[in-house]
Structures are given as structure tokens and as C-alpha cells.
Amino acid sequence: MPTVTMTVNGKQVSADIDPRTLLADFIRVNLDLTGTHIGCDTSQCGACTILVNGDAVKSCTMLAVQADGAEVTTIEGLAENGEMHPMQAAFKEHHGLQCGFCTPGMVMSAIDLVKRHPNPDEATIREELDGNICRCTGYHNIVKAVKAAADATGG
């Protein structure tokens, strides 16, 4: 069994794992960080999106061994000192979530979006969120939240 070592939410973790362990399962099962969700089996829905070395990736479409040595951030790692990340706060303020299941992936994706497009317009936000499916909100308030978070972080 290969050994993987990575930094997850600032903490170094290491484990011997079956190579077919998906990064999503490693996070959920080995690390018990269940905020990262699995919503499909064809790498489409984006619920499992996390940041690997700062980039949004679908953790269901990456092997844990591929993240060896990487810096991983999950939804649990965003808040600092009990304060929500501006993107989390914007989702709450603008009602960008309902059932909450797609939300962690959506938030992680939105953080990457704003990193790449610090001042996105509505069309850009909509295009750049096409890797995340939400069934509840119709995206209206998600778009508003992302825009507000971009504005708030000085985009």
C-alpha cells in the first residue's frame, strides 16, 4: 500500500492507502471531513470540489495518491478563528443555499472563480460555475453571493 502525505486545512496527514482510494473518500472516510459531498458518479456535479494547491478540483476525480505532497483545503478549512470566509458569509447573506448539499463544492469553486476573475460580471460567474450543479436555488442567489463576495474582497 502506498503512503500518502498531504497538508489538509493546514494540518499534515499521512496514511497508507489502497491506491484506488479517491481523494474524496480519503477526505470523507480517512479524515472524517464530511463537508465534502459526493453527488454523482460521473464527475459532473461538482459537490466534491475542493482546493488542491489553490485550484478547484473534483476530489472524486483525483486519486488520493495524486495529492501526495499537496496542500488541500476543504470547506472545513475556510473559516478562521470562527469567522466565516467572505465567500461563506456572502452565501449566507444572499441566501445562496437551500438544502446545503452542493454548497461546499459551490463555495470552493466560487473561491477559485474569484481568484481568477477578481471582478466578474454575471455572465462570467454563470459560465465559470458550470462545473457545479445546484438543484435548489436556480443559481440566482448563488450568482448574487459570488458577486458580493468578489466586491467585498476588493475585486
Residue 72 lies near other proteins (rule: CB under 8 A): no
Q: Contact 24/72 with Cβ under 8 angstroms?
A: no
Considering only 107, 111, 114, 148, the residue that binds other proteins (CB under 8 A) is 107
Nearer to other proteins, 7 or 124 (CB): 124
Nearer to other proteins, 121 or 154 (CB): 121
Contacting other proteins within 43-62 (CB under 8 A): 43-47, 49, 55-58, 60-62
Residue 125 lies near other proteins (rule: CB under 8 A): yes
Residue 41 lies near other proteins (rule: CB under 8 A): yes
41 alpha-carbon distance from chain centroid: 17
Residue 149 lies near other proteins (rule: CB under 8 A): no
Residue 147 lies near other proteins (rule: CB under 8 A): no
The helix/strand/coil state of 5 is strand
Q: What are the residues whose beta carbons fall under 8 Å from the beta carbon of 138, sequence distance 6 or more?
A: none
C-beta of 57: minimal distance to other proteins in Å?
5
Considering only 13, 15, 133, 152, the residue that binds other proteins (CB under 8 A) is 133
Q: Give dist(CA 128, CA 35) in Å, integer.
A: 22
57 alpha-carbon distance from chain centroid: 8
Q: Give dist(CA 70, CA 54) in Å, integer.
A: 10
The helix/strand/coil state of 57 is strand
Residue 66 lies near other proteins (rule: CB under 8 A): yes
